[in-house]
């Protein structure tokens, strides 16, 4: 019997491994219990801090503190929902595969909550200290009042509601009472809610939110600044009428959010909002993908160009954010829904019969699709981010469905032919991130298909003849395994966007020239694309966007030997082109046709020469990168006139080019905001002694100089181009071995009023930063009044930020000139001779962090007594690291 038991035990263990093997080991589930304990502890700390803020801090006019309070309310709502979720899952899912999946999801969720709570505690603690410090000299009046958080005063009979919801355990949910609700409501609605003629109605509006903090916050934010009593009465009436179909708890929670939805104004904003609930819980939705889906469904005007359509989408999104129905996603360019808002949106979209009825089963661990739920009335269906392995071949019929989202189902390797036949009206199909090997022929029957997304289908090597999909506007094949485009693409006369980044395509088919309505062509990441026959791109008369960065294809000029390849001249007749990103062999000469092309582009990235390097900046609307070429002012001036960001890498003739620009300059290069010069033996000193009379770069905001061996000071460039640096925000200099001092402030530059960041590294000859000749009878303003970040790395000879002949001048006068009154961050590494910094006791109100080595901090001398002790708490020891020498 013992042998049998051992065998059976082994078999059971193996079965368990096969079911749960794709999830983390048991130690994660043990860690989950630890997370719960930590969650309760952090929750108590956060509630205590929130109470302190509400009771002790005047935050009514502080937008950041108000936002912090909102974020605290949101995280506390999530934390309070955890015990209920765990209880239900323990009761329903114990011991099975889904329990592993669900427990792991809860483990990850609690970990995210802990991280968010730690951030809020840190931010709140700093804010309380800063606000408290600012109020030290003021008398604070304490006005007694009940807290609006963590109260248990509200009563609600759940004992029937819970039974109707078929819960396994009943947990009391606490809401705010009327007075607590009113306090929170006025924080979000502002002073207008307390005005004499509005307050009675406003209190009724607040009461309709039923004590739910999230609903109070949303409704209050929507009504903020509305002074007409008619609008408040309408809001009250709308809240009273927005009763959901389920009694009890949903009536309390959903009604205010449903009212916010009902209050949305504008064409198609409601279906655009409901589209966002198709994505999984807490999912950051890429805005550009959302725009394409909205375009595909016809929710945005398809007659506009893409930029106008995108701008319209952004306006819709901002409207939804203002209504608190959407919020910022985890990354730039993304949005997401609050969990409760998403639940309401799903509830709305699952009951509507007006064209937006949806089935949402995204991110819930599905392995198969249930045919029972696939009704004929569905307009949108989402199974994204599951683990679906197989799709049904028949037995479903969804003739009205226009959007089908299946992306993120990695195990899915086949689309049955009969499956897509069930979706005859499909307009948006997303199969991105699946392991499909091919597309079924039935896809060609989707005559209304407008958006086909295949991004990240790594094993997809070929496409069917897509020419029959004549309505197709967006085709994303980026990061797929396809090697060539089908010849039938010439029939896609309505194609607006073609994404091919990261594919293995080697040559564009000649038939593409017939895509006269193609608006956007993305070929970035096509490292094998080396052939584009002349006439293919020039035939795309409707092209608006051409993106080929990075790509192996280099565009030449027509006068060069190009063996029938497409040249820069092929782009001249694309009159609708407004965004261009390409590599060029050489600098195009100054000709009227080129001027016209560049002038009408709203966005461009031009990488010219063999050593042109890719870079990004916040001024990336009109970027120019030139590398490894001989420069002259005659050939480059017209490009500089149109650029906002310029990078020159290992280019010869820099002195001569600058001299020519000065001599032949007409006006200034007003659009240039970002300038980077890398690897040059130029001194940046005029050979003939010429210098500009006016500032040639009046709007320059960022200046970066790397590996310039002969430059002794930025002042040489200043005098050369007549620079005033009146808008300069950043100076970044690295590996300039001849640099003795950074800048002389004098004839041209009296101060740097906008400068926020100075970064200097690995300049072995640098002895001082700023040289400023002081005079007894001259009282200058502070040199860098708004400097916030100072970073000095590997400067062995640097002794001081500024050494001057200051005989007869009082030390406090000097301190005033060089005092960095706005400084927030200081970083100093391996600058052993730097023993003085112009920091004073008032800097304790602005400094957030001082980083460096302990030995340097100990020997640092500060002028005023007790300055170091007041700044001690901001110092953070950092061990020497080679990475700090790499920029």
The enclosing H or E element of 132 equals: helix 97-134
Residue 609 DSSP one-character state: S
User: How far is residue 862's CA from residue 45's CA, in Å, rounded to a whole number?
Assistant: 37
User: Of the given ranges (238-252, 308-322, 515-529, 788-802), which has the lowest mean pLDDT?
Assistant: 238-252
pLDDT single digits (tens) 670-684: 999 999 999 998 888
Q: What is the pLDDT of residue 304?
A: 79
Provide the residue count of the chain: 887
User: CATH fold of 269-351, please?
Assistant: Arc Repressor Mutant, subunit A (1.10.10)
Residue 574: closest CA among 543, 528, 613: 543
Instruction: Look up tokens 């199909």; give the residue.
Output: 429
Residues 433-456 have pLDDT tens digits of 999 999 999 999 999 999 999 999
Q: What is the pLDDT of residues 829-851, one digit of tens each?
A: 999 999 888 888 888 889 999 99
CA angle, 375 then 376 then 382, to 5°: 60
Residue 476 backbone dihedrals phi, psi, to 5 degrees: -110, 105
Q: Which residue has the tokens 């037995």?
A: 395
Distances 92 to 19, 97, 113, 254 between C-alpha atoms, Å: 18, 12, 24, 26
The three-state secondary structure class of 615 is coil
Question: What sign does the dihedral 666-672-674-678 (CA atoms) show?
Answer: negative
Q: For 158-196, how does the pLDDT look when each residue is reduced to its tens digit (9 = 90+)?
A: 464 445 544 555 444 456 788 888 988 998 888 899 999
Residue 59 phi, psi dihedral angles, 5° rounding = -105, 5
- Rounded CA separation 885/887 (Å): 7
- Confidence grade of residue 380 (pLDDT, cut at 50, 70, 90): very high
**Residue 410 in this model has a pLDDT that exceeds 90:** yes
Q: What is the mean pLDDT of the chain?
A: 81
DSSP state of 792: E
DSSP string, 239-275: HHH---SS-THHHHHHHHHHHHHHT--STTHHHHHHH
| pTM of the full structure | 0.69
Residues 6+ apart with CB under 8 A from 781: 750, 751
**pLDDT computed for residue 498 by the predictor:** 92
| Distance separating alpha carbons of residues 712 and 820, to the nearest angstrom | 25
Whole-angstrom Cα distance, residue 363 to residue 840?
54
For the CA atoms of 778, 779, 783, 785, the dihedral, rounded to the nearest 10 degrees, stands at -170
Q: Is the dihedral of CA 386, 392, 393, 396 positive or negative?
A: negative
The C-alpha atoms of residue 399 and residue 816 are separated, in whole angstroms, by 76
Residue with tokens 């931010």: 123
Is the Cα torsion angle 160, 165, 169, 174 positive or negative in sign?
Answer: negative
Give the whole-angstrom CA distance, residue 878 versus residue 883: 12
pLDDT tens-digit map of 61-103: 566 677 787 788 778 877 877 754 453 344 343 443 345 566 6
CB atoms within 10 A of CB 28: 15
The helix or strand, by DSSP H or E, that contains position 8, with its residue range, turns out to be helix 2-20
Higher pLDDT, 560 or 786: 786
What is the CB neighbour count within 10 angstroms for residue 858?
A: 8
Q: How many CB atoms within 10 Å of residue 95?
A: 8
Q: Write the DSSP assignment of 169-217 as a string of letters.
A: S--PPP---HHHHHHHHHHHH-GGGGSTTTHHHHHHHHHTTTT-HHHHH
Could you read off the pLDDT of 283-293 as tens digits, one per residue? 999 999 999 99
Condensed to tens digits (0 to 9), the pLDDT of residues 598-616 reads: 999 999 999 999 999 887 6
Top pLDDT among 2 and 221 is at 221
Query: How far, in whole angstroms, is CA 584 from its chain's centroid?
Result: 30
| Residue 57's pLDDT band (cuts 50, 70, 90) | low
φ/ψ (deg, to 5) at 879: -75, 145
Percent of the chain whose pLDDT exceeds 70: 79
pLDDT in tens, 327-336: 899 998 999 9
**Which regions of the chain carry the CATH code 1.10.10?**
269-351
pLDDT for residue 560 is more than 80 = no
Cα(364)–Cα(516) distance, rounded to whole angstroms? 43
Of residues 824, 802, 822, the one with CA closest to residue 814: 802
**Reported confidence tier of residue 33, pLDDT bands at 50, 70, 90:** low
Q: Phi-psi region for residue 606, left (φ > 0), alpha (ψ -120 to 50) or beta?
A: beta
């Amino acid at each position: 019997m013992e042998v049998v038991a051992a065998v059976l035990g082994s078999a059971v263990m193996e079965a368990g491994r096969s079911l749960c093997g794709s999830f983390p080991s048991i130690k994660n589930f043990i860690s989950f219990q630890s997370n719960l304990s930590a969650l309760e502890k952090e929750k108590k700390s956060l509630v205590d801090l929130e109470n302190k803020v509400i009771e002790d801090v005047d935050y009514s006019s502080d937008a950041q503190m108000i936002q912090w309070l909102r974020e605290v309310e949101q995280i506390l709502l999530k934390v309070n929902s955890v015990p209920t979720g765990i209880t239900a899952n323990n009761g329903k899912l114990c011991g099975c595969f889904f329990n592993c999946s669900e427990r792991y999801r809860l483990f990850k969720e609690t970990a995210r909550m802990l991280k968010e709570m730690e951030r809020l505690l840190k931010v709140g603690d700093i804010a309380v200290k800063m606000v408290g410090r600012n109020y030290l000299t003021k008398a604070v009046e304490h006005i007694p009042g009940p807290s609006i958080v963590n109260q248990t005063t509200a009563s609600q009979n759940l004992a029937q509601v819970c039974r109707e919801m078929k819960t396994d355990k009943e947990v009391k949910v606490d809401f705010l009472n009327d007075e607590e609700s009113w306090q929170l409501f006025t924080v979000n609605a502002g002073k207008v809610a307390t005005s004499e003629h509005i307050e009675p109605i406003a209190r009724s509006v607040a009461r309709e939110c039923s004590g739910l903090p999230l609903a109070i916050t949303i409704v209050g934010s929507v009504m903020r600044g509305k002074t007409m009593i008619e609008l408040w009465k309408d809001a009250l009436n709308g809240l009273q009428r927005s009763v959901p179909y389920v009694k009890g708890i949903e009536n309390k929670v959903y009604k205010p959010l449903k009212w916010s939805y009902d209050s949305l104004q504008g064409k198609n904003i409601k279906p655009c909002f409901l589209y966002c609930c198709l994505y999984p819980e807490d999912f950051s939705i890429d805005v550009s993908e959302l725009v394409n889906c909205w375009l595909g469904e016809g929710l945005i005007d398809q007659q506009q160009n893409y930029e106008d359509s995108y701008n319209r989408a952004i306006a819709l999104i901002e409207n939804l954010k203002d209504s608190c129905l959407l919020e910022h996603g985890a990354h730039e360019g993304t949005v997401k829904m609050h969990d409760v808002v998403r639940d309401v949106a799903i509830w709305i979209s699952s009951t509507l019969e007006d064209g937006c009825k949806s089935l949402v089963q995204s991110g819930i661990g599905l392995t198969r699709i249930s045919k029972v739920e696939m009704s004929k009335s569905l307009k949108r269906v989402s199974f994204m981010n599951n683990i679906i392995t197989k799709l049904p071949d028949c037995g479903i019929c969804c003739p009205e469905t226009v959007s089908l989202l299946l992306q993120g189902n990695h195990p899915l390797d086949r689309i049955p032919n009969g499956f897509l036949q069930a979706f005859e009206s499909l307009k948006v199909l997303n199969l991105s991130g699946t392991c499909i090997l091919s597309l079924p022929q039935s896809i060609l029957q989707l005559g209304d298909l407008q958006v086909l997304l295949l991004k990240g289908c790594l094993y997809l090597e070929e496409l069917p003849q897509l020419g029959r999909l004549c309505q197709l506007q967006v085709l994303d094949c980026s990061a797929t395994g396809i090697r060539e485009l089908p010849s039938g693409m010439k029939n896609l006369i309505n194609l607006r966007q073609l994404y091919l980044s990261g594919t293995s395509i080697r040559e564009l088919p000649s038939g593409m020239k017939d895509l006269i309505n193609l608006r956007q062509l993305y070929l970035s990441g096509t490292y094998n694309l080396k052939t584009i026959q002349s006439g293919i791109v020039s035939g795309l008369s409707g092209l608006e966007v051409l993106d080929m960065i990075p790509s192996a294809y280099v565009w030449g000029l027509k006068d060069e030997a190009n063996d029938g390849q497409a040249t820069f001249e092929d782009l001249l007749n694309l009159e609708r082109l407004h965004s261009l990103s390409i590599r060029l062999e050489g600098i195009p000469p100054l000709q009227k046709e080129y001027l016209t092309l560049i002038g009408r582009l709203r966005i461009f990235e031009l990488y010219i020469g063999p050593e042109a390097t890719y870079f990004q900046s916040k001024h990336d609307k009109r970027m120019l990168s030139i590398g490894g070429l001989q420069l002259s002012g005659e050939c480059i001036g017209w490009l500089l006139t149109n650029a906002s960001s310029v990078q020159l890498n290992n280019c010869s003739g820099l002195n001569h080019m600058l001299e020519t620009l000065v001599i032949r300059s007409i006006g200034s290069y007003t659009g240039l905001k970002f300038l980077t010069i890398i690897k040059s033996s130029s001194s940046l000193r005029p050979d003939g002694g010429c210098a500009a009379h006016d500032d040639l770069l009046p709007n320059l905001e960022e200046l970066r100089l790397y590996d310039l061996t002969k430059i002794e000071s930025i002042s040489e460039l200043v005098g050369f181009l007549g620079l005033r640096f009146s808008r300069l925000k950043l100076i970044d200099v690295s590996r300039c071995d001849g640099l003795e001092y950074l800048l002389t402030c004098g004839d041209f530059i009296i101060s740097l009023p906008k400068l926020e960041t100075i970064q200097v590294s690995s300049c072995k000859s640098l002895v001082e930063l700023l040289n400023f000749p002081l005079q007894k009878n001259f009282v200058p303003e502070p040199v860098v009044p708004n400097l916030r970040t100072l970073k000095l790395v590997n400067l062995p000879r640097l002794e001081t930020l500024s050494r001057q002949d200051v005989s007869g001048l009082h030390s406090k006068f000097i301190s005033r000139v060089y005092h960095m009154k706005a400084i927030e961050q200081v970083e100093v590494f391996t600058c052993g001779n730097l023993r003085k910094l112009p920091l004073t006791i008032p800097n304790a109100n602005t400094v957030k962090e001082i980083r460096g080595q302990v030995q340097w901090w100990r020997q640092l001398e500060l002028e005023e007594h007790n300055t170091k002790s007041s700044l001690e708490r901001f110092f953070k020891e950092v061990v020497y690291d080679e990475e700090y020498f790499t920029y």
